[in-house]
Structure 1
C-alpha cells in the first residue's frame, strides 16, 4: 500500500479476545482492518506486523488470566512495544486493563464496588479536552466542557460492562476520565489510549452481554441503551474517527521526511 493511500486508509490491526466481543459498531469505520481472532488460535502479531494502528478489544477473561487465555502475555508485551514505538493504540475495557498492566500499572479482579453495567456517565478531566482521540467527545458534550471541562455538566453517557478495574496507572500516564463507580475510565499512556467503557457497543450487543451476567438486570440495561442509542452511536463514531485521524497523522509524520 502506498503512503498516499495509507493517509486515507491507515492499516489497522484489531485483536479480538472472544467471539462475543467484536468490533460491532466500529466495523463501519474499521471495515478494512485486519482482525486477529485470538480466541480461534490466530497468533499475536509482531509489532512490525500491526500496520499503522492497533486496537485491543474487550473480553470476558481478566487481565491476568494467562491460564485461560495463554495469548495474554504476548498481548501485554505487544502493547508495551506499541507505546515504545509510538504506534497509535486503543485499548477497550479488557484492552485498557491489559494496557495498564503492560505499563506497570495494576488491575483489581472483581473489584469491591461491583459490576458497572448499562449506560454510565463518564466525567471528563481537563487533559481530555486536548487528547487527540477523546477531544472531539469532550467538545461534543456541550458548553460546560468549553467553559470548564471538570464542571459537573461535562459528561458523556457510554456503555459499560465490567467488574474488574484499573486501580493503578502506568508511570507517566495521564488520567482522563472517571465515573461515579470507578475512577479510571480513560487514560493515555504515550501513543496509547485506554478506555474502560465500550464505545463500540450497540444496544443489541450490550443486552447480549447483560443476559450472560447473573448480577445484571437485563431489562434495565435494555431500557438504558435504547433510550440513549443516538448519543451512544455518535460518541462511538466520534472516537473511532478521531483514532483513525491519529493514525493518519502518525503516517504523515513518518513519511514527511521522505517526501521533502
Structure 2
C-alpha cells in the first residue's frame, strides 16, 4: 500500500505535531496538517487513511469562541464510527469523547500538570497499539478538564490515581489519550509561562530544562513505536481489534 494519508487537526497554534509528526512521517505517513480557522477543514474523511487531533487551550465544547470545534467533533465522530484509525490527544481525546456520547467537565481534583506515569489496564495488553507499551508509560500532562464519562462501549486502556480515564479505545480503532506525547521542552515551558497558575500546581522543578529533556527522551522511547504502530494500522499492515460479538442473555 502507498503511504497512508493522515489528516492532522491542530486546534491551537501553541500545540503543533512536533516529534509526533516526525515519528508519523518517519513511519511512512503523509500528513495533511490543518490549523483552524486559518485552514479550512475538509467536509469528510474521503481520501484519508487516518485522523489525528492534537491538543489546545480551549474547552471541548467552547463553541461560542471557537465555532469550528463542531466540525472537528463531527470529523472525529465520523472517524470513530466509520472504522478509520483515529487518535485524539488531550483536547483531541476530550473532543472525541464528547463527539461520541461521553462527557468532559472541569476536573474536580484540580489541574493535572507535569510529567507522570499512567498505568495500563487489562484490556491494553491485547490492544494492537497499547500491548507493547510498558506497564507504566511516561506521559506529560497539562490539562484542567477531565473526561468524566467515556462514550458507551469505550474500553479503558490506561488510568491514573488523579483522573481515571487516561486512555481509551472506541470501536475497533479510535483512540483517545488524556495526555501529551507530542511536546518539546520549549513547548511545555511556553505553556508554563502562559498559564502560571496551572504550572504552579505541578511538582517543583519539573519545568527545568534538564528535567524536561529527560522526560522527553523517556516519552520518545515509549511513544515513537506507538506512533509507528498507528501508521501501520492506517496502512493496513496491522489489524484493529476484532469486533465484540453481541449475544443475547440466556433465559
TM-score of Structure 1 vs Structure 2, range by shorter chain: 0.7 to 0.9
Q: Report the counterpart of residue 221 of structure 2 in structure 1.
A: 234
Q: How does 1:121-200 map to 2 (within 5 A)?
A: 121-137=117-133, 141=134, 154-190=135-171, 191-200=173-182
1:73 aligns with: 70
| Structure 2 runs not aligned, ≥5 long | 241-251
Contact 1:203-1:226 within 8 A present in 2 as well: yes
Taking structure 2 as the reference length, what is the TM-score of the superposition?
0.86
For residue 44 of structure 1, the aligned residue among 41, 53, 71 is: 41
Is contact 1:25-1:201 (8 Å) kept? yes
Distance 1:48 1:107 in 2: 25
User: What is the TM-score with the length of structure 1 in the denominator?
Assistant: 0.83
Q: Return the alpha-carbon distance in structure 1 between the equivalents of residues 229 and 63 of structure 2.
A: 32
SS in structure 1 of the partner of residue 24 of structure 2:
coil
**Alpha carbons of structure 1 residues 252 and 69: separation in structure 2 relative to 1, 3 Å:** same
How well do the aligned residues superpose, as a CA RMSD in angstroms?
A: 1.9
Match of 1:258 in 2: none
Inter-partner Cα distance in structure 1 for 2:140 and 2:47: 27
1:134 and 1:206 mapped to 2: Cα distance? 25
Structure 2 equivalent of residue 208 of structure 1: 190
In 2, are the aligned partners of 1:123 and 1:155 still within 8 Å (CA)?
Answer: yes
In the TM superposition, what is the alpha-carbon distance from 1:220 to its structure 2 partner?
A: 2.5
- The match for 2:14 is 20
Given that 1:12 and 1:30 are in contact with CA atoms closer than 8 Å, whether structure 2 keeps it comes out as no
- Structure 1 residues 17, 199: CA separation in 2 closer, same or farther (over 3 Å shift)? same
Matched, 1:34 2:32: yes
Aligned pair in 2 of structure 1 residues 204, 136: CA closer, same or farther (>3 Å)? farther
Aligned-pair CA distance for 1:73: 1.0
Task: Give the gaps of 5 or more residues in structure 1.
Answer: 142-153, 254-260
Distance 2:186 2:46 in 1: 33
Could you tell me whether the CA contact under 8 Å between 1:16 and 1:39 is conserved in 2?
Answer: no
Deviation at 1:131, TM superposition (A): 1.5
Greater Cα shift, 215-224 or 72-81:
215-224
The answer (yes or no) to whether the contact 1:14–1:36 under 8 Å persists in 2 is yes
Distance 2:92 2:109 in 1: 20
1:116 aligned onto 2:112: yes
CA spacing shift, 1:119–1:251, aligned 2, 3 Å:
closer
Which structure's residues are more often helix, by fraction? 1
Distance 1:251 1:211, change over 3 A: same
SS at match of 1:38: coil
